[in-house]
Amino acid sequence: MKKVLTIAGSDSGGGAGIQADLKTMTVHQVYGASVITAVTAQNTLGVQGVKTLSVQAVISQLDSVLRDIEFSALKTGMLANSQIIEQIAAKIKEYSLPNLVVDPVMVATSGDLLLKEEAVETYKEKLFPLAEIITPNLYEAKVLAGVETEENNDPQVLAEKLITYGSSWVLIKGGHTTKKRSAKKAVDLLYDGSQFIEFEAEHIPTNNTHGTGCTLSAAVASNLARGMDMEKAVGQAKKFITGAIKNNFPVGQGNSPVNHFWRLQNLQHSSNQQFS
């Protein structure tokens, strides 16, 4: 079985972060290991507290797993600050880890900040050049491109800017343009510096989208670990997240997480053609 590592924050509510990643990896039939960067006190209503671990604590977890386990892919989620990003980048280089998926998490769906502002430059300088793919949402893409005005919402222009930071691929997620309940499509844009590929799915009119970004990037990492090329890995991950949003179920009193298990239910009830 292929092994995949997530380096991210813990969501006590179980819908995003490390918890979403491990559930996603499990239903993709890869072995998931985790390095925790921060512990959030979080539920479906929002983030009530954040305790970021010391750089030493993060690196010691990373050394433990990297000395022992061979990973076919890894993803990063909430990295909290620039010191953590810098040290993680150094370790990824040291161990020549393959198939790095960077989800540059900045803000939770609830609006709570998960990254120090000064860390944006460190992402660009240290981590993106090592990444196979970066997966910002539209808001994150604009911050990373240094674009703040409303008129610069064109994902193609943003992708062209972000690819210059050195990742092999950029995926700009369309969830934030499709938050409006009237939206018909949820479109994500993949770019490798020469070709734009759009992934289109039906837009599901719901607020129960907690953990969508984490889940999508963990699915991409799992698919890459299983040997898919980037276009297929993203295409399958997009189908997975769409089903997970569609099949959400009530969890707490706020915005429910996506349903990671729909794929298991689906596997039980179908001949598994869709995911083979």
Ligand X SMILES: Nc1ncnc2c1ncn2[C@@H]1O[C@H](COP(=O)(O)OP(=O)(O)O)[C@@H](O)[C@H]1O
Ligand Y SMILES: Cc1ncc(COP(=O)(O)O)c(N)n1
For ligand Y, which residue of 24, 40, 248, 259 counts as binding (CB under 6 A)? 40
DSSP per position, the chain: --EEEEEEEEETTSSSHHHHHHHHHHHTT-EEEEEEEEEEEEETTEEEEEEEPPHHHHHHHHHHHHHH---SEEEE---BSHHHHHHHHHHHHHTT-SSEEE----B-TTS-B-B-TTHHHHIIIIIGGG-SEE--BHHHHHHHHT--STT---HHHHHHHHGGGS-SEEEEB-TTTS-STT--EEEEEEE-SS-EEEEEEEPP--S--BTHHHHHHHHHHHHHHTT--HHHHHHHHHHHHHHHHHT----SSS-PBP-TTHHHHHHHHS-STTT-
CB of 167 to ligand Y, least distance (A): 19
Is 77 near ligand Y (CB under 6 A)? yes
Shortest reach from residue 238's CB to ligand Y, in Å: 15
Residue 155 binding result from ligand X, ligand Y, none, given CB thresholds of 5 to 8 Å by partner type: none
Closer by beta carbon to ligand Y, 226 or else 260: 260
Structure tokens at 39: 């512990």
Span 175-214, contacts to ligand X by CB under 6 A: 175-176, 178, 186, 188, 201, 203-204, 206, 209, 212-213
211 lies in the binding site for ligand Y (CB under 6 A): yes
- Minimum distance between the CB of residue 108 and ligand Y, rounded to whole angstroms? 3
Q: Which stretch binds ligand X (CB under 6 A): 51-59, 79-87, 170-178, 220-228?
A: 170-178
Should residue 9 be labelled a site residue for ligand Y when binding is judged by CB under 6 A? Answer: yes
Please identify every residue annotated as catalytic. Answer: 173, 209, 211-214
Could you tell me how many residues of this chain bind ligand Y (CB under 6 A)?
Answer: 18
Between residue 136 and residue 155, which ones bind ligand X under the rule CB under 6 A?
137
- Least distance CB 67 / ligand Y (angstroms): 25
Q: Which does 176 bind (CB under 5 to 8 A by kind): ligand Y, ligand X, none?
A: ligand X
- Whether residue 58 contacts residue 35, with contact meaning beta carbons closer than 8 Å, is answered with yes
Q: Give the type of residue at 88.
A: I
Of the CA atoms within 13 Å of residue 251, those in its CB half-sphere come to 23
Q: DSSP per residue over 98-139, as a string?
A: SSEEE----B-TTS-B-B-TTHHHHIIIIIGGG-SEE--BHH
Question: What's the min distance (Å) between Cβ of 27 and ligand X?
Answer: 16
| 72 or 256: CB nearest ligand Y | 256
**Site for ligand Y (CB under 6 A): which residue of 5, 105, 120, 234?**
105
Kindly state whether residue 104 participates in binding ligand Y, applying the rule CB under 6 A.
no
Give, as ranges, the residues between 241 and 260 that touch ligand X (CB under 6 A). 241-242, 245
The answer to whether 258 and 208 have CB atoms below 8 angstroms apart is yes
Instruction: Please report, as ranges, the residues that interact with ligand X according to CB under 6 A.
Output: 137, 173-176, 178, 186, 188, 201, 203-204, 206, 209, 212-213, 216, 238, 241-242, 245
Summarize as ranges the residues that interact with ligand Y (CB under 6 A): 8-9, 11, 16-17, 40, 42, 77-78, 105, 108-109, 114, 210-214
